[in-house]
Amino acid sequence: MKTSEIQPIVIIDSREQLPYSFDFPSVKAALPVGDYSLQGLESVFAIERKSLSDLIGCLTHDRARFLREIERGSNLKTLYLLIEASLADIEAGKYRSKINPESVIGSLLAWVARFRNFKPIFAGNRNSAQKLAGKILRREGLEAVNSNEQEPEF
């Protein structure tokens, strides 16, 4: 099969409240970590989606729970944190919490340093994040096929 013909099957975590839609097949199932992955690659990578308010909650009152999730994902090759906001939104404090923007950025950077597989990406908004999630899923599928890490089910 040519890599241009690959049709990955996206796994959308069954707990995902506002799932993205994709141009390729998807199924709902429980993922051990994250909101999205590909069938057959769940142990290789995951994408965790966060709106800005979700992210701020994960850095304040839900911090311990979110840190446990990042720790569960530390065995993955890559754990993407896809943020539906921009860095400028955080710097401007465009959220309801009183948490200092520098603390938000500092926490993310500390987790990047501690968990080398943790990759936060500022997508700007939900629409851009959804498009980027599709691109990440496709790229991870292609990388797996090209490197024969695992045999994904396409």
Per-residue pLDDT of the chain (154 residues; tens, 9 = 90+): 444 444 579 999 999 999 999 988 999 999 999 999 999 999 999 999 999 999 999 999 999 999 999 999 999 999 999 999 999 999 999 999 999 999 999 999 999 999 999 999 999 999 999 999 999 999 999 888 787 655 555 4
pLDDT of residue 7: 57
pLDDT of residue 154: 45
pLDDT of residue 147: 78
pLDDT of residue 1: 41
pLDDT of residue 136: 97
pLDDT of residue 36: 98
**Domain 3-147: CATH architecture, name and number where available:** 3-Layer(aba) Sandwich (3.40)
pLDDT of residue 119: 98
- Each domain of the chain, given as residue ranges in start order, spans 3-147
Q: What is the DSSP string of the chain?
A: --GGG----EEEETT-SS----SS-EEEE--SSSSEEETT-TTTEEEEEE-HHHHHHHHTTTHHHHHHHHHHGGGSSEEEEEESS-HHHHHTT-SSS---HHHHHHHHHHHHHHSTTEEEEE-SSHHHHHHHHHHHHHHHHHHHHHHTSS----
pLDDT of residue 148: 62
Name the residue with tokens 């200092």. Answer: 100
CA angle 16, 53, 58 (to 5 degrees): 75
Distance CA 83, CA 92 (A): 16
AA letter at 115: F
CA proximity to 136, closest of 34, 27, 31, 14: 34
